Amino acid sequence: MPSFLPENPRTSTRRISWDAVRVLAVLSVVLGHITHQGPLAHTELDDYPVKVTAQFGAAILMVVSAFFVCQTVRRGDSGRWMWKKAARLVPPYLVAVLLTYFVMRWADASFNGQEFGSHWWDKLFGPTTDGLAWASSWYVPVGWDLLVNLTMIQGWHQGFIWLDGSYWTLPVQLMVFAGAALLWSRTPWFRSPHAARHAKLLAWAMVVVPLVLRFWVFGVTNTSPWAFAVVFGFGLHRLHAFAAGVAVWLWSRDRLSTPHLALLLAAVVAAQDLHLYPFHVALPTDPSRLPSIIGFALVLVLVCAAAKGPDWTFLWPLAPVIGWFAGISYGVYLLHQELGYILAKALQLAGLPGWGRLPLVLGAAIGAGWLLTKFVERPAHRWLTTPRGATAPPPRRAPDDLVRDEPTGPAPVSVGGSS
């Protein structure tokens, strides 16, 4: 297992605390999907020895992502900055979609006892011979589903199918990155002496406006296509997580007081709870929401500690493992869910109980994530960001906006002209 961290922590500016936060968040996502979401979608898989019901990992990854957007968007040309983000995130996503589509199509049809027509188009993109996409809980996708997922428009219509439930993060990430690049390059708001004030107002707006729109303007139970498209197409139900990252960054630069940070993060936690468990889904007293909301709040405290506190040097004996896992975590995130369900079903058909399947499915997710990182993410990013005719730099651990931070620690930057 290679280490991407220097052997001597005293000579490194990389903070293991950020890697540890990411590993915790990604593991919570993966274990939650395997042991909780998987059995909800496919009840026959509900025999794992443990069940992780807390849903907060993806939101924490977005908090961390927003923190480092604030730190890096002002460095150099914002258009180039945006291109580097897309060059890292999009290629592995497209490969993951293609892989998931074809595995899901053939495996799910096999689970259902279904077949495809003899023509090559029918085999690759057409419906099953019985015409049933939902013959069971194992959905058999068609070519239209592949197109929808490749173009990342799943959140714009209720009839669109997500091949993998984890994919929702990428279009939201890209829209937020594009918005950050435009705000920084095209408006004077964050270059003026009042930039910190404007950033605070932006953070509050990202928390409050989506709540007002979703629960007041549109109505709690509004299911009209246009309301769905506005909320989920634009990712408004997730903007509060990015607001938390902005707030933590301002606080870490002493541009936001601790009481103000606490108040804003409390609002973020409340928004997370409301968006995750709307009024018509769970009552405020429903205990099923507690693991998610408490976990989110506690890990936000860890994010604050990573942002401003001393590095977590007590974890340095585990630094090679934590750093390696953090380095492949985007690939793990992309490939663990739907493919994990399919593998779990195949292992169950082979006679393995839940306690035997759990380590195998987890290990397969890690292995698949490593392969996607090594053979797609990193080489594609190098190829897309290296000027033509120039010699490509040697491979190195580079940041990914969803699950990894900058390769070095925080650099001195300014807000509103002050350091």
Distance CA 57, CA 80 (A): 29
Helix, strand, or coil here: 142?
coil
- Contact between 17 and 316 under an 8 Å Cβ cutoff? The reply is no
- Contact between 51 and 35 under an 8 Å Cβ cutoff? The reply is yes
Distance CA 190, CA 416 (A): 6
- Contact between 332 and 369 under an 8 Å Cβ cutoff? The reply is yes
Q: What angle do CA 31, 37, 39 make, to 5 degrees?
A: 105
pTM listed for this prediction = 0.88
Distance CA 89, CA 402 (A): 8
Other Cβ atoms closer than 10 A to 106: 15
Residue 287 lies in a domain: yes
Residue from 247, 236, 243 nearest 214 by CA: 236
Q: How does DSSP classify residue 410?
A: P
Residue 126 lies in a domain: yes
pLDDT given at position 78: 87
Distance CA 297, CA 288 (A): 16
Structural domain count, the chain:
1
Residue 56 lies in a domain: yes
Distance CA 268, CA 254 (A): 20
- Contact between 242 and 62 under an 8 Å Cβ cutoff? The reply is yes
For the chain, what is the radius of gyration of the CA atoms? 22
Helix, strand, or coil here: 176?
helix
Query: What is the residue range of 326's domain?
Result: 14-385
Residue located via tokens 């010699």: 391
Distance CA 211, CA 202 (A): 14
- Contact between 248 and 21 under an 8 Å Cβ cutoff? The reply is no
Other Cβ atoms closer than 10 A to 282: 14
- Contact between 136 and 107 under an 8 Å Cβ cutoff? The reply is no
Residue 410 lies in a domain: no
Distance CA 19, CA 324 (A): 9
Residue 111 lies in a domain: yes
pLDDT given at position 214: 87
Residue from 53, 52, 67 nearest 21 by CA: 67
Residue 406 lies in a domain: no
Residues 6+ apart with CB under 8 A from 391: none
Structure token pair of residue 21: 């936060």
- Across the chain, which has 419 residues, the per-10-residue mean pLDDT values are 34 79 97 96 95 94 95 86 95 98 97 95 96 95 97 93 95 94 78 77 95 84 82 92 97 95 97 81 69 95 96 93 96 97 98 96 98 98 85 51 41 28
Residue 30 lies in a domain: yes
Distance CA 32, CA 30 (A): 5
Per DSSP, the chain holds a count of helices (H) and strands (E) of: 16, 0
* Phi, psi torsion values for 391, nearest 5 degrees: -80, 130
Residue located via tokens 């468990």: 277
Distance CA 57, CA 24 (A): 8
Residue 400 lies in a domain: no
Residue from 342, 291, 269, 303 nearest 53 by CA: 291
pLDDT given at position 170: 95
- Contact between 52 and 35 under an 8 Å Cβ cutoff? The reply is yes
pLDDT given at position 409: 36
